[in-house]
Structure 1
């Protein structure tokens, strides 16, 4: 599953280079930054979680990850809406990949150990925009909590 996601995100990149950042990776990074900032605090632990997720799950190098986080922050400041970014991911990912994206967002939301009501609301809305069923979002939430040691 993650291999397909990695292949999609690395499509069009030159081997050995930083590569170009595409709309899918921008959308994913933006939604992760939104999950980290929606409660009014973008804690270092949330930023570190985003770095780890983008690096590990999408096989991106550190300079690309930093670029994506900065772009995500700029998009947040410009009040870019969730619909367009969610639509980009919905159109690019199959159902299992969208569930994986929800799991990543839950990891960012829980990175500081606390789920704010704004984060929970965002997760419900983004899961709907990605057409992820409630039971699959709930299972992704549980996996994210387990990944973070919050069971």
Structure 2
């Protein structure tokens, strides 16, 4: 997992080409964005932490230990990053529009997991959606899906 963090940071700094990205780097980029979504308001609640862990297990098909490792790596990558472009660029190159939409939907679900939507969270998802090439209409649709609990069933 440390190699994945180093590789991602090398990619973010422009030291490497992103022609074909391994699945671990895609997972790390997605998980770092998801972590950023729960941390952007300045307080990570236990409900948010638990829901992010559950999403990592379900979305990526990970075991508990693997999800714990990915969570730790994502938190470290998020703390090291200076912007969101590096993460979104990895995902935009590697994932289909539908898969990128799933990331946005999970971000919405995480922001609602503590019972409140903070303006920083709303703004973050708008910026990430733009960087991922998700339209405003689709972003709002995904917000409503997440509000109805749709991400949990995907």
TM over 0.5: yes
**Cα deviations by residue, 1:65-123 (Å, 9 ceiling, x for unpaired):** 11111112112322442101111111111111111111011111111010101001100
Distance 2:72 2:55 in 1: 15
Q: Does 1:59 align with 2:57?
A: no
Distance 1:80 1:55 in 2: 27
Q: Which residue in the other structure is 2:146 paired with?
A: 144
Equivalent position to 2:38, from 36, 39, 56: 36
Q: Which residue in the other structure is 1:89 paired with?
A: 91
Distance 2:108 2:60 in 1: 17
The answer to which of 74-83 and 109-118 deviates more is 74-83
Structure 2 alignment gaps of length 5 or more = 1-21
TM-score calculated relative to the size of structure 2: 0.79
Aligned CA RMSD, in angstroms, stands at 1.5
Taking the TM superposition and a 5 Å limit, the aligned residue runs for 1:117-136 are: 117-136=119-138
User: Is the contact made by 1:55 and 1:61 (CA closer than 8 Å) also made in structure 2?
Assistant: yes
Equivalent position to 1:23, from 19, 22, 25: 25
Structure 1 alignment gaps of length 5 or more = 1-19
Q: Which residue in the other structure is 1:110 paired with?
A: 112
User: Is the contact made by 1:21 and 1:64 (CA closer than 8 Å) also made in structure 2?
Assistant: no
TM-score calculated relative to the size of structure 1: 0.81
